[in-house]
Structure 1
Amino acid sequence: MKNLLITLTALISSVGFLAGQDRPQAAPLPQIDVLHYEISAEITPENGFLKGETKVRFSVPQDVLTLPFELNNRLSIIDIVDAEGTSYSTSFDGVESQRVAVRGENPFRAGAEKTLTFRFEGALERQEYAFIDTPRAEKAVIHQDGALLLTEGRWFPSYRLQLDAATADVKIKVPLGFSVVAPGVLQPTEISGVTEVFTWKSAAPVTRIPVVVSRFFRQEVEQAPVPTTLFVGEQQSQQDLKPLLTEINQVLDFLSKEYGGFPFEHLNIAAAGNVSLPSAGAAGLVLLEDSVLSAKMMPVVDLARRFAVQWWGYSAKPKEVYDAWMQDGFATYAA
């Protein structure tokens, strides 16, 4: 705890210096406060297709005519209705096509709490690369070996998710043989014919909701300072992962001693594939690329930074988009 106070004092001093420099004006007040996401989706790896439904429960702090949600521009909204069955219209931002303005017949009134249900679908096929070994940069992609749906890929309708934390239920249907990893706690799976449904519940508010689909092998990590589960593909399952797991345990032990116990009840670590990730995962979930899992020389500092984000990015959250840089800054310092 003493080290935590010293760290905060040093970094606050740096922030005070930066505050004196030019910075954008404070962001406008949020138009809604999202309380909960209930996301259901069916993923078909064979043709890269996603069909989903998202219920967004939110409160309205001030009167507003339209609500700006975000959705991947390769996905189409089928309809939007509220709990009474009233339909809402949409229009896309001409400059940023991933912004969707939602409007009803009447304004959204201050003090109200509403639930909107979005039905959407679309193809998120993998882009063709010239070199098969090139790490891919897609943020939302479905392919024959699974899927990687990152928050940055806006794979479901959301509102300021990385700043407006909300609880979430994620329910994903996939063909038998595939598994799904998402933030939260895994509930009992349901098998229906040739498909299986995976449900993950986040009781604590989250700011990122990534989903990884693959033919995972699941392994409980022994002697970890926090209950930890590793999800890897067939290739990684045949490797000697003991050096990696030993390093992860040492990193978690160091961070826990320096900055307090792990901020979540359980840690899941999932292989993300041959990709270049823009973020390290979500609350209680760390994503690792093939380059990390298969590295001959363990990238210790980079590994530590990814896990430090659990303390400095997902437990302590930025207030405004202009403060988001502090997440990586604190995590890098901690590593």
Structure 2
Amino acid sequence: MRALTPLRAALSLLLACCLLSCSGGVGAGGGSGGGTRSDGGGSDAGAPGVGDRLFPGAGNGGYDVTHYGLDLGYDPASGRLTGTAVISATATRPLHSFNLDLAGLTVTRVTVGGRTAATRRAGTELTVLPSQVLVSGARFETTVVYAGVPHTLTDPDGSSEGWFRTDDGALALGEPVGSMTWFPGNDHPSDKAAYDVTVTVPDGLTAVSNGELAGTSSAGGRTSFHWHSAEPMATYLATVAIGHFDVTRSRTSGGLPLYVAVDPRSDDPTTAATLRRIPEILDWEIGLFGPYPFTSAGAIVDHLKQDQVDYSLETQTKPVFPGDQAPDAPVVPVDTLVHELSHQWFGDSVTPARWQDMWLNEGFASYAEWLWKEHEGGPSLDDSANAAFGYTPNWDFPPATPPSADQISASPVYGRGALVLYELHRTMGDAAFTTLLRTWPAAHRHANATTTDFTSFAQHLTPHDLTPLFTTWLYGKAKPSHL
């Protein structure tokens, strides 16, 4: 995420407590099989959170999702969403109940394995009680039928996410927990899954989502768009954009399919020229980071009011850019496009196991911006590093240990995170660091990783002891005396 919203601390604390509070019995750890509660009868209740340090109520324990099948219908006039979510998962322990994350919306029916299941609702937790206990290792399918007018959430840092209603449709953005405003799921980055998303809208509108368009069909004045994402995706990276779009399809020089959807009101010569550089930017990033990790790429530019969204987001395969920003500001700055496309490697393919590891996303994406600026004849890498070193907010806290949920998109995660990589380059040397940039995303392709995973990986690539570097730049509270 490239967050630009000012922090609003008082509001953030209140909303963090209301939206993301952790129910009892949650164990520590970052995986989808977090803590459990025993019913005393030899089976367990899946935990209502994975125990993430910054977002303890996010996600759920006891199962691992492998596929989401979402069948959605949307009426822009009323704002009403109807949905059927088919969630394929594997139990990681015996389960007499398990939770799904869902904010608002009315659930009318839930089945597990085709049998009706009882449910309970408490805040954003939908507790499902199957008609029989799920044994550990069992593969099971949960179907949730729901409807309502979805809304946005206010994040701990004061920014908005979730389901945004636009004047001709809607846009869904989910970092960190906004996906639960439009579909039930295991809403934590540690549980990635494949997706099939079908969205039915009035004729004349287009529905765009992640992955590739698998087909369209029309009946009764409405058109359905089926989008398929075979590669695993974290819930926060899922998106749907509904409205009027000018769609451009093309391919990179290597044959990678591109799908770019732009709201006509946000289109201008500068935007069009920038988006035409996607193949060039991707080829440049492939040269640095290795093979592109997905089977398609593109972008979405939607028209939202500035007070709705003031950030771009690296939604998988198609980063989203809000199309109504400050006067005279470009709709899609080239540096921002480079940043969000680099996230396809760092964040989307290699996804943090815990929200505190966000610097692995943003540090790499910020460093990619520095490299691009130098590539384009702008500030050198040294100049960008010196500017980041001199920027006081970058030293508010160590990038590997954000102190609270409202800090995961704060300056140290970006600028100081990039400085960690700059120092690694200087210490490891060109050859070893070039290897790091290519082999780190390859080693954890479509998986999750922690900061410890990264530091250990880097150490194996060099004879230099990296402990002092990480102690100072990644974990240290004090600003070094010099760069």
TM superposition score category, shorter chain reference: 0.7 to 0.9
Counterpart amino acid of residue 216 in structure 1: F
Cα deviation code 1:230-253 (max 9, x no counterpart): 111122345454431354344323
Structure with greater Cα Rg:
2
Contact 2:173 2:238 in 1 (8 A): yes
How far apart are 1:289 and its partner, in Å?
Answer: 1.4
Change in 2 beyond 3 A, CA 1:224/1:289? farther
Change in 2 beyond 3 A, CA 1:267/1:35? same
Indicate yes or no: 2:90 matched with 1:63.
no
Change in 2 beyond 3 A, CA 1:116/1:188? same
Change in 2 beyond 3 A, CA 1:119/1:278? farther
Q: Which has the higher strand share?
A: 1
Change in 2 beyond 3 A, CA 1:301/1:144? closer
Corresponding residue of 1:12: none
Select the residue among 158, 167, 171 that pairs with 1:148: 171
Counterpart amino acid of residue 173 in structure 2: L
Corresponding residue of 1:200: 227
How far apart are 1:158 and its partner, in Å?
Answer: 0.5
Select the residue among 117, 120, 123 that pairs with 2:143: 117
Q: Give the 5 Å matches for 1:220-239.
A: 220-221=249-250, 226-237=256-267, 239=269
Q: Give the 5 Å matches for 1:74-153.
A: 75-92=105-122, 97-124=123-150, 137-151=160-174, 152-153=178-179
Change in 2 beyond 3 A, CA 1:292/1:62? same
Corresponding residue of 2:422: none
Select the residue among 236, 241, 248 that pairs with 1:212: 241
Structure with bigger RCO (C-alpha 8 Å, 6+ apart): 1
Q: Which has the higher helix share?
A: 2
Corresponding residue of 1:3: none
Contact 1:219 1:231 in 2 (8 A): yes
Q: Secondary structure at the match of 2:29?
A: coil
Corresponding residue of 2:358: 324
How far apart are 1:287 and its partner, in Å?
Answer: 0.8
Contact 1:305 1:334 in 2 (8 A): yes
Cα deviation code 1:188-241 (max 9, x no counterpart): 210002100000011111112210001111113576664322111122345454
Change in 2 beyond 3 A, CA 1:253/1:78? same
Q: Give the 5 Å matches for 1:1-335.
A: 26-27=29-30, 28=34, 30-73=61-104, 75-92=105-122, 97-124=123-150, 137-151=160-174, 152-154=178-180, 155-207=182-234, 208-221=237-250, 226-237=256-267, 239=269, 241-274=271-304, 275-276=308-309, 280-291=313-324, 295-296=329-330, 299-335=333-369
Contact 2:210 2:318 in 1 (8 A): yes
How far apart are 1:288 and its partner, in Å?
Answer: 1.2
How far apart in 2 are the matches of 1:86 and 1:241?
Answer: 50
Task: Give structure 2 stretches of 5+ with no counterpart.
Answer: 1-26, 36-60, 154-158, 370-483
Counterpart amino acid of residue 211 in structure 2: G
Q: Secondary structure at the match of 1:235?
A: helix
Counterpart amino acid of residue 230 in structure 1: V
TM-score for the superposition, normalised by structure 1: 0.80
How far apart in 1 are the matches of 2:252 and 2:64?
Answer: 40
Task: Give structure 1 stretches of 5+ with no counterpart.
Answer: 1-23, 128-135
Cα deviation code 1:43-74 (max 9, x no counterpart): 0000000011001111101123321211122x
How far apart are 1:303 and its partner, in Å?
Answer: 2.4
Counterpart amino acid of residue 321 in structure 2: L
How far apart in 1 are the matches of 2:288 and 2:325?
Answer: 24
TM-score for the superposition, normalised by structure 2: 0.57
